[in-house]
Structure 1
Amino acid sequence: MQNTNLKWLYLLILSIIWGSSFILIKKSLLGLSPYHIGALRTLITGLFLFSIGLKSLKSIKKQEWKWVVLSGFLGSFIPAFFFAIAETEIDSAVTSILNSLVPLNAILLGFAIFKIGFTKQQLLGVIIVFIGTSVLILRGADLNPDQNYLYAGFVIASTVMYALNVNIIKAHLQNVKPLSIATGNYVAIMIPALVILCYTDFFTNATYAHPNFKMSMIYVTILAFFGTALAKVIFNTLIQISTPVFATSVTYLMPVVAFSWGILDGEEFGLIQCFASLIILFGVYLANRKKA
């Protein structure tokens, strides 16, 4: 399959996987703390990647390891905790909307730090998406006045880290296999995750006795396998066969999936938010449409 068609297939798969991640985090929080979720997500993902990708580490050159480690912390480790902390106060659907800021940051940081150019059409598309995202956020705040939107800062900080990560992969790890990058990321971040898990109250009877503990463990395992391990390999591949802006366009489509799960879980969703979602999809099309 040609890269043009393959990148759209990967984009669709990722939107479904990552769009479902937010509801999985929400359900995991019923029996686990955000620190448990972040650490367990990292450890389970790392064990899976090691089982299939340990041999691939040999292909990473010595000078590339610093970028692999940095990519691991910015693209996986810190956001795994930040998203879980954010969802203790704001809805899963709203979190997915805020995540749409990634492409805007990818363009700005790519230009400012990595000297990666962008077109006026791409910038216009991102601006349109940002407008649609803003409408969704404001409407969400109206529908949920009791939520603490200061916690949205954790999501926004994560979008900056994600944007830095995609530019690092594009600029410095373009020739490294996606599985090697993903596995190398977790070589660096599994030990810190284990330390955090040990210094929280995870290994206590109180945690195991929680009525939602078993189901939360199932949710976080699904999240780690699909939402992190499998998705990370696909995402790294997508970055390499397309551009940072196209790869991060997955964050435009994720809210559609996340809102669907949110509705099923009882989260409020209005007509204005439907309209804003259409604006977002139009922005995706505009940002990625090739000129005649």
Structure 2
Amino acid sequence: MDKKWLYFILLSVVWGSSFILIKKALLGLTPVQLGGVRIVFASSFLFIIGYKSLKEIKKQDWKWILAAGFFSSFFPPFLFALAQTEIDSGVTSIFNSLAPLLTTLVGGIMFGLLITRRQVFGVFVGLLGTVALILAGARFSPDQNYWYAIFIILSALGYAFNINIIKKHLSHLSPLAVTTASFGVVIVPALIMVGFSGFFNEVWYSPDMQTALIYLVLLALFGTALANIYFNKLIYVSSPVFAASVTYTIPLVAVLWGVWDGEKMNVYQLIGGAIILLGVYLVNRRRR
């Protein structure tokens, strides 16, 4: 099997399972605690296995590492956790499907990526699906605040910047070096966030927090640290838009986990998700 497809399938399963792990961890942790501790665990694990790779990084690389780190490694863990306090995990994963569309837009506007008319049309189709999904959710799931989808869209935008930065400015570095450094530059602000959240004072006396940490460890090691290494490998062996297209299949896994956990989706939400994926398909489809 081609490496890029192997990485693609692996990431679909691992990241598709991340949303249910976030949901379970939120039963005992606040969004700030979840996001911060997730970054700290992932950064620590990556430093243990990847600290030797940091010698590859030159002085001129660090500004791009810093940008990639905050766009992809720092803000999304907090934003995803915050979004899932109001939106089901399966629906959250569908909103995350905007990443390939935003990758195309960011690449075309800021990184010189050529965009065809079909891709522009695909972007508008995807945005139409997003609006449809928000409206359907607001109408049929009034107990959920679909304005929190904005946090997922911001996360997807961060991933779009990260993918283009890595492909254009950091492709001479190994995936392990980029991933380790990207998390290394955000561990201190993450620790500060965790400290102010009261985590260190509360965790010793809260059985709910201790149970949540089990899910969080799995999320940090597999859904964050290892997944980011393989995602960076996928960027290296494919195009930015193909790498972002892993969000095609992530919702399939995430929705199955959500249904297993008792979440419900109506047909209008599924239609909105299908429209988003159609837009992603149009952006990625190659001419014969």
Fold similarity call, TM over 0.5: yes
Out of 6, 9, 22, the position equivalent to 1:9 is 6
Q: Secondary structure at the match of 2:207?
A: coil
Map 1:212-231 to 2 at 5 A. 212-231=208-227
Residue type at the aligned position of 2:5? W
Report whether the alignment pairs 1:167 with 2:164.
Answer: yes
Map 1:1-292 to 2 at 5 A. 5-204=2-201, 206-292=202-288
Q: Pick closer, same or farther for the CA change 1:283–1:150 going to 2, 3 Å.
A: closer
Ranges in structure 2 where 5+ consecutive residues have no aligned partner? none
Residue type at the aligned position of 1:61? K
The whole-number CA distance in structure 1 between the counterparts of 2:48 and 2:224 is 15
Q: Which deviates more from structure 2 when the two are superposed, residues 269-278 or residues 52-61?
A: 269-278
Ranges in structure 1 where 5+ consecutive residues have no aligned partner? none
**Could you tell me how far 1:74 is from its partner in structure 2?**
0.6
CA RMSD across the alignment: 1.9
**Could you tell me how far 1:144 is from its partner in structure 2?**
1.2
User: Is contact 2:28-2:212 (8 Å) kept?
Assistant: yes
User: Is contact 1:143-1:268 (8 Å) kept?
Assistant: no
The whole-number CA distance in structure 1 between the counterparts of 2:4 and 2:121 is 22
Q: Pick closer, same or farther for the CA change 1:148–1:284 going to 2, 3 Å.
A: closer
Q: Pick closer, same or farther for the CA change 1:272–1:151 going to 2, 3 Å.
A: closer
Q: Deviations over 1:161-189 (max 9, x none)?
A: 11111111111111111100000112211
The whole-number CA distance in structure 2 between the counterparts of 1:147 and 1:209 is 31
**Could you tell me how far 1:149 is from its partner in structure 2?**
2.0
Q: Pick closer, same or farther for the CA change 1:274–1:90 going to 2, 3 Å.
A: closer
Q: Which deviates more from structure 2 when the two are superposed, residues 66-75 or residues 252-261?
A: 252-261
Q: Pick closer, same or farther for the CA change 1:35–1:166 going to 2, 3 Å.
A: same
Q: Pick closer, same or farther for the CA change 1:269–1:248 going to 2, 3 Å.
A: same
Residue type at the aligned position of 1:111? G
User: Is contact 2:101-2:283 (8 Å) kept?
Assistant: no
The whole-number CA distance in structure 1 between the counterparts of 2:273 and 2:83 is 22
The whole-number CA distance in structure 2 between the counterparts of 1:284 and 1:70 is 25
Residue type at the aligned position of 2:107? G
**Could you tell me how far 1:119 is from its partner in structure 2?**
2.9
The whole-number CA distance in structure 2 between the counterparts of 1:157 and 1:284 is 17
**Could you tell me how far 1:276 is from its partner in structure 2?**
4.8
Residue type at the aligned position of 2:205? A
**Could you tell me how far 1:255 is from its partner in structure 2?**
1.3
The whole-number CA distance in structure 1 between the counterparts of 2:147 and 2:135 is 14
User: Is contact 1:91-1:267 (8 Å) kept?
Assistant: yes
The whole-number CA distance in structure 2 between the counterparts of 1:176 and 1:135 is 40
